[in-house]
């Protein structure tokens, strides 16, 4: 019998539409599935606490699914090239199949592994498992990367959609697996205090959970998606983001399911969002420094403030601005936040508080279950005005107006800020402007039961505009970094 192939799982923890698995199985070969936790390779971008919780459960689900198909999952922790070398030695494998990665550290690792394996006569095959299209498929007319979303999305749509999803294998050929670590020994879940109760109540990590989430979204929310997606008080979006990040469902599969279910307005709006994800990955591919440095280099000269107390108030949901505090509480309790509210809380941090976007990015990295290097960095830079196709810096979100527009009855605020639960819809968005009688009636004592705002919104806005004017007058806002690192 021929030697088995190694399947090196990355951010593609699924069996259906798994191009690397499909290719590894070709010709009836047995497959040794492996996941390696290589925190040193990821460096500063090793998974944060919420992602580690998700990863634990996703790996457990993948293990179960593989066993049900007749296989299993080998777990190893440490240096990827050394572990893969040992596994090829013990199994006799001459081929390793893996998904393509966009993270700069993962691409560096791919190159190191490919070189090390080549020297041993082992081939590393990288398959597309994460994105809808390959980086070589989506280019400007002159063959370069896009810097603006709309032409990027048009170029994607002109490709006529991603390929049809591949089926999951009915069964896996039997193979003797090398030794595996015990998942529980990796300590991915919190010990004490156990802060993950809200995550457990909200999510079902794994491929089966992703399938159910997609099915429910198609049945219940897709038709109204275009009209309701900006409302945090409604369950109007798919909440597929962590499932997509960990690759428990492929973006191609979601694309085709949505097209089949609602080709109209709801489906079109949803595909636009999937293409924002694709755009972020495209940006990260061509600008590997995006998670750390502004795409418009002049923004490095912004007069950012180092205000630990205000940063902590923002992180804890104690800013005194209800929509912001509700969002930060939703994040803390569930590991997720509605997109509109992400924009509002991010805008308050980088504009009204003038705290660097990287501080917000780092907090999201640790607390989001969908923390994703491409989406997180691209979105923070977009809000800060220093990214590709960014929100103009002079457009400073007014969190009170945003709150009134998108959470009109205050339902979302009441859910996550119980101290304001009794305040009426007219005053809940800006309690510091409420008449004393309304506060007394709702049992709110500003500064005691609920904080006063940590920043005056009008002067915070003016300070942000001054800072921006300074960077703009120096002629520093216009230039994107030259693309680098794409290959």
Catalytic residue among 276, 365, 382, 432: 276
Whose Cβ is closer to ligand FAD: residue 108's or residue 272's?
Answer: 272
Question: At closest approach, how far in Å is the CB of 365 from ligand FAD?
Answer: 7
CA distance 111 to 124: 9
Q: Which two tokens stand for residue 85?
A: 């070398």
Q: Where are the beta strands (DSSP E) in 111-258?
A: 123-127
Contact call for residue 370 and ligand FAD (CB under 6 A) = yes
Q: Are 414 and 420 in contact (CB under 8 A)?
A: yes
Q: Which two tokens stand for residue 155?
A: 């170029």
DSSP 3-state assignment of 232?
Answer: coil
Active site residue 54: no
Whose Cβ is closer to ligand FAD: residue 258's or residue 419's?
Answer: 258
Active site residue 339: yes
Residue from 58, 129, 147, 238 in contact with ligand FAD (CB under 6 A): 238
Q: How far is CA 61 from CA 54, 69, 72, 99, 346, in A?
A: 11, 13, 11, 19, 33
Instruction: Return the half-sphere exposure (C-beta side, CA atoms, 13 A cut-off) of residue 67.
Output: 8
Contact call for residue 314 and ligand FAD (CB under 6 A) = no
Contact call for residue 397 and ligand FAD (CB under 6 A) = no
Contact call for residue 339 and ligand FAD (CB under 6 A) = yes
Question: At closest approach, how far in Å is the CB of 17 from ligand FAD?
Answer: 16
Query: How many residues bind ligand FAD, per CB under 6 A?
Result: 27
Catalytic residue among 186, 195, 318, 339: 339
Q: Which single residue is written with the structure tokens 């109209």?
A: 264
Cα 163–164–170 angle (5° rounding)? 130
Active site residue 276: yes
Contact call for residue 51 and ligand FAD (CB under 6 A) = no
Cα 268–271–274 angle (5° rounding)? 160
Question: At closest approach, how far in Å is the CB of 216 from ligand FAD?
Answer: 12
Q: Are 481 and 292 in contact (CB under 8 A)?
A: no
Question: In b/e form, how buried is each residue of 163-198, taking b as 16+ CB within 10 angstroms?
Answer: eebbeebeebeebebbeeeebeeeebbeeeeeebee
Residue from 34, 240, 290, 354 in contact with ligand FAD (CB under 6 A): 240
Whose Cβ is closer to ligand FAD: residue 358's or residue 376's?
Answer: 376
CA distance 175 to 189: 30
Catalytic residue among 53, 285, 304, 382: 304
Contact call for residue 379 and ligand FAD (CB under 6 A) = yes
Contact call for residue 349 and ligand FAD (CB under 6 A) = no
Question: At closest approach, how far in Å is the CB of 477 from ligand FAD?
Answer: 20
Whose Cβ is closer to ligand FAD: residue 124's or residue 258's?
Answer: 258
Active site residue 357: yes
Give the other-Cβ count within 10 Å of 220's Cβ. 11
Whose Cβ is closer to ligand FAD: residue 14's or residue 239's?
Answer: 239
Residue from 52, 126, 211, 245 in contact with ligand FAD (CB under 6 A): 245
End-to-end alpha carbon distance in the chain: 37
Question: At closest approach, how far in Å is the CB of 169 from ligand FAD?
Answer: 26
Catalytic residue among 357, 363, 365, 432: 357
Active site residue 8: no
Question: At closest approach, how far in Å is the CB of 255 from ligand FAD?
Answer: 10
DSSP 3-state assignment of 8?
Answer: strand
Q: Are 54 and 198 in contact (CB under 8 A)?
A: no
DSSP 3-state assignment of 298?
Answer: helix
Residue from 11, 58, 88, 237 in contact with ligand FAD (CB under 6 A): 237
Q: What are phi and psi of 450, to 5 degrees?
A: -150, 135
Whose Cβ is closer to ligand FAD: residue 58's or residue 375's?
Answer: 375
- What is the per-residue binding string for ligand FAD in 264-283, x denoting contact by CB under 6 A? ---------xx-xx--x---
Q: Which stretch binds ligand FAD (CB under 6 A): 43-51, 295-303, 316-324, 362-370?
A: 362-370
Catalytic residue among 186, 195, 268, 273: 273
Residue from 210, 226, 346, 457 in contact with ligand FAD (CB under 6 A): 346
Cα-Cα-Cα-Cα dihedral of 342, 238, 272, 61, to 10°? Answer: 100
Alpha helical stretches, state H, 265-338: 265-286, 308-316, 322-334
Contact call for residue 103 and ligand FAD (CB under 6 A) = no
Task: Respond yes or no on whether the N-terminal peptide bond of residue 237 is cis (omega within 30° of 0).
Answer: no
Helix and strand element counts for the chain (H, E): 21, 5
Contact call for residue 343 and ligand FAD (CB under 6 A) = yes
Contact call for residue 375 and ligand FAD (CB under 6 A) = yes
Q: Catalytic site residues?
A: 273, 276, 304, 339, 357, 380
**Footprint of ligand FAD (CB under 6 A):** 229, 237-241, 244-245, 273-274, 276-277, 280, 339, 342-343, 346, 364, 368, 370-372, 375-376, 379-380, 383
């Amino acid at each position: 019998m021929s030697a088995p192939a190694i399947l090196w799982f990355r951010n593609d923890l699924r069996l259906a539409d798994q191009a690397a698995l499909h290719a590894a199985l070709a010709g009836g070969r047995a497959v040794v599935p492996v996941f390696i936790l290589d925190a040193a390779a990821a460096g500063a971008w090793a998974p944060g606490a919420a992602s580690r919780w998700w990863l634990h459960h996703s790996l457990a689900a993948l293990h179960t699914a593989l066993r049900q198909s007749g296989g299993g999952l080998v777990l190893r922790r440490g240096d990827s090239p050394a572990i893969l070398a040992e596994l090829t030695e013990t199994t006799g494998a001459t081929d390793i199949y893996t998904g393509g990665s966009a993270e700069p550290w993962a691409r560096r690792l791919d190159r190191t592994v490919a070189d090390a394996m080549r020297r041993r006569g082992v081939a590393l095959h990288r398959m597309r498992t994460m994105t809808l299209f390959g980086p070589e498929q989506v280019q400007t007319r002159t063959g370069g990367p896009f810097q603006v979303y709309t032409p990027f999305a048009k170029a994607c749509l002109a490709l006529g959609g991603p390929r049809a999803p591949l089926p999951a294998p009915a069964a896996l050929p039997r193979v003797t697996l090398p030794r595996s670590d015990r998942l529980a020994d990796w300590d991915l879940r919190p010990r004490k205090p156990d802060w993950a109760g809200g995550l457990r109540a909200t999510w079902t990590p794994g491929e089966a959970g992703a399938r159910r989430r997609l099915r429910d979204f198609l049945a219940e929310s897709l038709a109204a998606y275009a009209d309701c997606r900006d409302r945090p008080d409604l369950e109007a979006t798919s909440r597929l983001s962590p499932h997509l990040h960990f690759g428990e469902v492929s973006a191609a599969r979601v694309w085709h399911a949505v097209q089949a279910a609602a080709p109209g307005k709801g489906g079109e709006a949803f595909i636009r969002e999937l293409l924002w994800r694709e755009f972020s990955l495209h940006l990260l591919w061509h600008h590997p420094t995006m998670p750390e440095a502004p795409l418009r280099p002049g923004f490095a000269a912004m007069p950012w403030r180092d205000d630990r107390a205000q940063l902590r108030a923002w992180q804890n949901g104690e800013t005194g601005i209800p929509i912001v505090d509700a969002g930060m509480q939703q994040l803390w309790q569930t590991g997720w936040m509605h997109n509109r509210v992400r924009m509002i809380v991010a805008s308050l941090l980088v504009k009204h508080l003038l705290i660097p976007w990287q501080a917000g990015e780092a907090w999201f990295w640790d607390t989001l279950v969908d923390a994703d290097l491409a989406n997180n960095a691209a979105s923070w830079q977009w809000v800060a005005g220093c990214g590709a196709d960014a929100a103009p810096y002079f457009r400073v979100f007014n969190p009170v107006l945003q709150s009134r527009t998108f959470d009109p009855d205050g339902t979302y605020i009441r859910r996550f800020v119980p101290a304001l639960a009794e305040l009426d819809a007219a005053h809940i968005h800006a309690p510091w402007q409420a008449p004393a009688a309304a506060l007394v009636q709702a049992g709110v004592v500003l500064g005691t039961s609920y904080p006063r705002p940590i920043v005056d919104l009008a002067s915070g806005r003016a300070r942000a505009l001054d800072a921006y004017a300074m960077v703009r007058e120096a002629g520093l806002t216009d230039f994107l970094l030259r693309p680098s690192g794409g290959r």
